[in-house]
Structure 1
């Protein structure tokens, strides 16, 4: 095929593109170097500015420096927070039930009559409700108790209207607030044999969080099934029944129950995979068990041999070896008795606050009127690690533009200050100022023309006119300068 010499080939095009990109980069760097960056006012501006604008600007700059120092320190603290750092809050769970169409509720039946019919349609409805307590509640209760202790017992009660009108700070926003957000499965088991017959032919009730297929968006039905504050169900029955509510925790990363030997070594019963790996690595380093410099193979001491049943262990394969020592966490069990008797159903709602309970993984029930109350600790994501970015990209771009405009204004103020000093000096002594200015300009012109007088000379520059190796032209500086000048002219020296 014939090649048109007027068209550049691929190599030339690539070279031209690289040259254009390099020129563009150099131009951008040159413009960046020309851009003013100093945002501090020069000294002496306060004397020529009307008002206290300069002083207020300097105070703002000082506040900005303090804020920058605080933000840098906070960023360092956030980087030191572990990736799985968590804080715990209390989830209060209320369990209650109502009953309808019970035999004692049938007013047409005599109290002393015995019903042999099987047409009884007695039902009960159980409600399980969860509420995430505010972090302020404990502090408010503590402050209230302290106030009551310090209060004079003979003093009259204070007016509570002022306390009611006092604004209350809102709790920090969180993405996990509902009951279904903290558990992946809820199972309600009836405490009776599965072989026994019952009206609805059931032995347990189960809820599982719907799984969203990868790459697909959740449907409205899935969102509604995975976001609720309470769970209720209705069944037939006219007798009291015991149930066990099993809550399977949903944590990320997933936590496991450690084997007995591993738990004794790490001094903890529950941990995620990362915590187990880090704990074992710290133990290996503390006991100086690495076999080589790369620390990939370790020698097992008596404690590790009792766990892994081997004398040496390849550390990269430790995750697979740990699999049999990590078991799923057992669900939290809440016991409740479904009551359909008149004494329970007809009791009135309490007016006093619910009793405080100590949150625990094995919670104990507290009675609150018709309700059975449990307090359960639930993990919350770290506020520092999961904090959203303070500024978006458009906001940061806007701040950068404001900084550039501020630096340009400061440069204009500095130029105006120099002009003010120039004209102020000329107005104070016009003749002397003009003479000094002419002398300064003359010296600058002599420097540009190469006619600057030598040391001890006055205006003639005889030393520059005298040659020889001992003269000025024989010095190393002069030779380098002449060589540079000739090289720029394209000559050879």
Structure 2
């Protein structure tokens, strides 16, 4: 290879798409500069022949822009990709023009967006419903009994247990408490349990109190164990735990609504239905309603505003009655166990609530849909790449000269950003005389003859 003749093509160099002996015009210098800068950029090198006269400005923040990119935390990049993910599924307009069949894909995206919006609304509705679950009334059977041990010293144990009865279940079956129950445990239905013993026999601990607010765990029942050999009657006080809170209605309000115990919201709703059924709403001002004689006994007025109902019924609402039980402690080892039982109506969550919770969880986590979305995004990225390659070659085929000029100008801007070259030297880079200086041919030959990196496709492999 003759290094003194710049017109000779070095051995191993790629074939040029232009005829040999192309004159040294502005076009030739532009092509040389483009190839030279592209090769430098591929090897991570930079060449600035005007550095002695025009030294480059230091970077603005004292570091390379690539270091700032590497310093971004992985979590931030992941979050950024997640935020950009919906846009990655969209086809570019230019690609849509090339692919007429993409209209069907766009329609599917619109349909998917509508389905996702509908699912999101329904999921919110279900979540709101789960916050205030529907309840059904079931029978809570309470068993009160005691056991006795004649060992020295003698002792007795009072037990209070209970279980919600299911439909069709035999409450007298021996295995009643052995089968698992889908309902809350016994202690969850009570706010406070108080057991009072005979003060003469147990002066130091005659009152035993359990409060739900002090215990996060639920229990199947309660038991009290004491030493003693004398029979007496124990008083048991059970205060129900209503969530949401329930109230007992006054006789006047009970006569109007026919309800004994209920929540404030349901009581207000019942009053509204009473007014609506009897057409007591004021026609000129719908925010008021007239009171018939039963309502006048409750409110004491002829006309009441709807927004004031909740406040005006407060003195008609009282805490619900407690459950008072009495059990005689029998000191007899042969006494029947569980012979005394009491039934109480309680509110339990609707059985479908558990299925709704599982449904909401399954909708939020769908790995199959996520995998399909990732596959679609990968295909869209490939379409983006192929469209850019196609645009590159189509642009070159339509107007090679103008295309290369625009390409060279774009690469000039990129190189100035990479090497940090100041703006006042930009006019020299775009001037074709800049590449007619004596150093250009020598720099090209030296670059083409340099030893390439192993596995690289760079020219210069002699």
Structure 2 length-normalised TM: 0.48
Structure 1 length-normalised TM: 0.45
